[in-house]
Each structure stands twice: as C-alpha cells, then as structure tokens.
Amino acid sequence: MKQKRKSSGGFRSLLYSQKVAPYVFVAPFVIAFLLFYLYPIISSVIMSFQEVLPGQVRFIGLSNYKNLFRGDFVKAVRNSVIYTVITCAVLVPVPILLAVFLNSKQTVGKNTFRVIFFLPALVSVVVGGFTFRLIFGEMPTALLNSVIGVFGAKPVKWLGGPAPWTTFFALLVLCCWRWTGVNIMYYLSGLQNISEELYDSASIDGAGAWQRFFYITLPLLKPTTTYVLTISIYGGMAMFLESRMLFNGGRYPGGQGLTIVGYLYRLGWEQNRIGLGCAVGLFLLAVTLAVNLVQLRVSGFFERR
C-alpha cells in the first residue's frame, strides 16, 4: 500500500515538476502537428510517385509529374495566378485607406463602419457564393444585369461568358466583399500601435495629411503589410470554394474559374486519380512557398530578423 502511494506520489511530483510541465503543455500541439500536418505531407509526397487505385497501389516513378502539365492544369495555374495578382492589388491598398479613415478622430460612427466591413467575414462561403451566383446570373432579371439595364446596357453572361474578364470580375467582387473587413482589422491594429506623438511632431513641422501618411503611416505599417500580403498570396493560390460555388458545384465552362485546388479536387475525388492529385498539391505548395519567400525577401523580413 505504501509502495502504491509512493509511486502515485512520484508520478504526481513528476507531472507537476517545472522540467516536465512545459512538455505537457506543448504535447497537444506537437501531436496535432505530427498527425494532421507532417504525416499528410509525407503521405502526399509518397503517393505522388504512385498510382493509387481502390485496393491497389503501384509505384510509377515520375509519371505523375510528367503528366502534370496535360489537360486543364495550365488553365488552372493561369487562373490562380491572375486571381492572386488582382486580389493582392486590391486587398492591400484599399484596406489601408479604409483603416486610416476608420482610425481618424474626425470619423463619425467608427464602430458601426467596422461592424459593417467585418460582417461578411462571418458569413459562410457557401451562402456567400450562392448569393453572388444569383447576383451575377446571366438572365436579364438577375440583379447586376438589372442594374446595368437601367443605363441601357445589354445583359452580360458574367460567369463563363466569351470574355474571361467577367469571370475574374465576379471572383474579385466576391473576394473583396469577404476579406476587405478582415484586412482592415489587421491594419487598424497596426495603426493603433503608432504613437500619436509622431503625427503631432510632423504637424508642428508643417507636414500635411498626405505627407504624414506616406512618411509615417506607410513605413510603420510595413510589418502588417508584409503579413497581409503573405496571407493574401496563400489565399489567392489556394482559393477553391468561392469559385466552386459561383460555378454551381465545379461546372467550369471552357476552364473559366478553374483553380489549382479545384483541379486537384477534380483529379483526386471526382476522377479518383489520387497520385496525380498529390503531385498537383505539391506543385501548389512549392509555388506558394517560393512566391512567399521571395516576397518576404524583398520586403526585408529576413534582415529584420
């Protein structure tokens, strides 16, 4: 009995020791990382060299990578790159200007505007995509066609029409509606860390509003901009559900709206070509990682570290 108490007491003292406690707190994250991140990546790398069929797996070497650029893969890469570029060109400067506006002391109803801008981020992507599919419908009675019809314009086939820019316009509007408020919150947190004394000193020296913006606000928001640009690049390259909902469950006419992740989903789950889908996923990982590393290098992130 005494030996049992002694062993339980030793276990309790070991559990509450300062040396073991940090490992106990870190253990859930380490286990989750190994099971849900590292293990799937390693499995994907292995399966990218295999032909995975129900009940059988066959090693085929580099055949999946040789077949990578066939089919609609080039269209998917091109669409993802264009979508990422145009969303980054909008979702970085516009939220900065809106955040400066909302952070100004002269702005009335700042909290109301913050709620209005952030509210779309709380809406499900499925609900938002379905709603925007109705807005960008090709019928003359669709909302957007009804609006342009007031000005005498003919109805436009926005999704999958003869002009590819209409598809990117619909995706851009959906993306900006959903993520502008999130980026505004990031920039607001960065603006609130800038001391008011800097602006007061600049005003005393005769600096105007635009001079204070370009020489104080923008340089001090550089870390926030680096973060926003990084997650925007990742979000643009990994976009899937928005385009799938806009195009009614993955019906991409002529490859319009098809993204890399959409192409991966088509190969892996709809066509049961898991090995080729893994190769596409690893290609996406490599491209996104390379682009973000270049972006961080240009922004001077590594020098600051």
Cβ proximity of 253 and 160 under 8 Å: yes
What is the pLDDT, as a whole number, of residue 120?
92
What is the pLDDT, as a whole number, of residue 8?
54
Q: What is the CA radius of gyration of the chain?
A: 25
pLDDT tens digit string along 83-105?
999 999 999 999 999 999 998 88
Would you say the C-alpha torsion 282, 288, 291, 293 has a positive or negative sign?
negative
pLDDT tens digit string along 188-200?
999 988 888 888 8
Cβ proximity of 240 and 144 under 8 Å: no
106-to-110, 196, 208 alpha-carbon distances in Å: 9, 15, 16
What is the pLDDT, as a whole number, of residue 270?
84
Cβ proximity of 174 and 129 under 8 Å: yes
pLDDT tens digit string along 4-45?
555 555 666 666 677 777 888 888 999 999 999 899 989 999
What is the pLDDT, as a whole number, of residue 1?
47
What is the reported pTM?
0.85
DSSP track, 164-228: HHHHHHHHHHHHHHHHHHHHHHHHHHHHTTS-HHHHHHHHHTT--HHHHIIIIIHHHTHHHHHHH
Residues in the chain with pLDDT values less than 50? 1-3
What is the pLDDT, as a whole number, of residue 162?
79
